[in-house]
Chain A
Amino acid sequence: MSTGTRKPDDQFYREYILDHYKNPRNFGRLEHPDISHEEDNPLCGDVIGMDFRIKDGVIEDVRFHGRGCAISQASASLLTERIKGLPLEQAKQIGKADVLGELGIDISPARIKCALLSLKVLKVGAYGLADEDEEE
Chain B
Amino acid sequence: MAARPFDVAAIRKDFPILETGIAYLDSANTSQRPRQVTGAMLEYFEQFNSNIHRAAYRIAEEATVRYEATREKVRALINASSTKEIIYTRGTTEAINLVAYSWGRKNVQRGDLIVLTILDHHSNIVPWQILAAERGATIEFVDIDDHGELRQDQYADLLKRGPKLVAFNMVSNALGTINPARAMTAAAKKAGATVLVDGAQSTPHQPVDVRELGCDFYSFSGHKMLGPTGAGILYGRRELLEAMDPFMSGGDMIKTVRVEGTTYHDLPWKFEAGTQAIAEVIGLGAAVDYLCGLGMEAVRAHELEITEYAYEALSEVDGLTVYGPPPSRRAGVISFALAGIHPHDLATIADRDQVCLRAGHHCAMPLMTRLGVPATARASFYIYTRKDEVDRLVGSIKEAQRIFA
Does B20 reach chain A (CB closer than 8 Å)? yes
Interface 0/1 of A24-56, CB less than 8 Å to B:
000000000000000000111111000000000
Distance, CA A117 to CA B227, complexed state (A): 36
Q: Select the stretch in B58-66, B111-119, B351-359 that faces chain A.
A: B351-359
Of B345, B352, B375, which one neighbours A70 at CB under 8 angstroms?
B345
Given the known A-B contacts A45-B375, A68-B374, A111-B348, are A18 and B342 also in contact in the complex, defined by CB atoms under 8 Å? no
Asked if residues A70 and B351 are in contact (CB atoms below 8 Å), the reply is no
A13–B342 touching, CB < 8 Å? no
The reply on A67 being an interface residue by CB < 8 A is: yes
CB pair B342–A70 under 8 Å, yes or no, is yes
With contacts A45-B368, A70-B345 known, is A10 near B403, CB below 8 A?
Answer: yes
Q: How far is the CB of A36 from chain B (nearest CB, A)?
A: 21
Chain A CB within 10 A, most for which of B342, B349, B352, B361? B342
Is A43 a contact partner of B360 (Cβ separation < 8 A)?
Answer: yes
Of the residues A6, A13, A42, A67, contact of B365 by C-beta under 8 Å: A42
Whether A9 is near chain B, meaning CB under 8 Å from some CB there, is yes
- Given A13-B403, A45-B375, A69-B344, the answer on whether A7 and B352 have CB atoms closer than 8 Å is yes
Instruction: Answer whether residue A71 sits at the interface, using C-beta atoms and an 8 A cutoff.
Output: yes
Q: Kindly supply a per-residue 1/0 record for chain A positions 68-83, scoring 1 wherever the CB is within 8 Å of any chain B CB and 0 otherwise.
A: 1111000000000000
A3 is an interface residue with CB less than 8 A from chain B: yes
Chain B CB within 8 A of A114 CB: yes
A45's closest neighbor in chain B, by CB?
Answer: B374
Chain B: how many interface residues by the 8 Å CB criterion? 21
| CB atoms of B375 and A44 under 8 A apart | yes
Provide the bound-state CA to CA distance between A71 and B346, in Å.
Answer: 12
* The one of B342, B349, B375 that contacts A9, using a Cβ cutoff of 8 Å: B349
Within the assembled complex, what's the spacing in Å between the Cα atoms of A22 and B361?
A: 24
- Which residues of chain A are near B209, meaning CB under 8 Å? none
Which of A10, A12, A69 lies in contact with B342, CB distance below 8 A? A69
Q: Is B351 a contact of A44 with CB atoms below 8 Å?
A: no
Contacting residue for B404 out of A18, A67, A111, CB 8 A: A18
Residue picked from A43, A68, A69, most chain B C-beta under 10 Å: A69
Are A111 and B344 in contact, with the CB atoms below 8 A? yes
Q: Is the CB of A12 within 8 A of B348?
A: yes
- Asked whether B399 is an interface residue with its Cβ less than 8 Å from the other chain, the reply is yes
Whether, in the assembled complex, A90 has its beta carbon less than 8 Å from a beta carbon of chain B, the answer is no
B321 to chain A, nearest CB (A): 16
- A7 vs B349: C-alpha distance when bound (angstroms): 10
Partner of B374, one of A2, A67, A108, A111: A67
- Contact across chains for B361 and A13 when beta carbons are under 8 A apart: no
Q: What are 25 sample pairs from A and B whose C-beta atoms fall under 8 A apart?
A: A3-B20, A7-B352, A9-B352, A9-B399, A10-B403, A12-B348, A13-B349, A13-B403, A18-B403, A42-B361, A42-B365, A44-B342, A44-B343, A44-B374, A45-B375, A46-B342, A46-B374, A47-B374, A69-B343, A69-B345, A70-B345, A108-B348, A111-B344, A111-B348, A114-B344
10 shortest interchain CB distances as A-B pairs: A45-B374, A69-B342, A69-B344, A45-B375, A70-B345, A69-B345, A13-B403, A44-B375, A44-B344, A9-B349
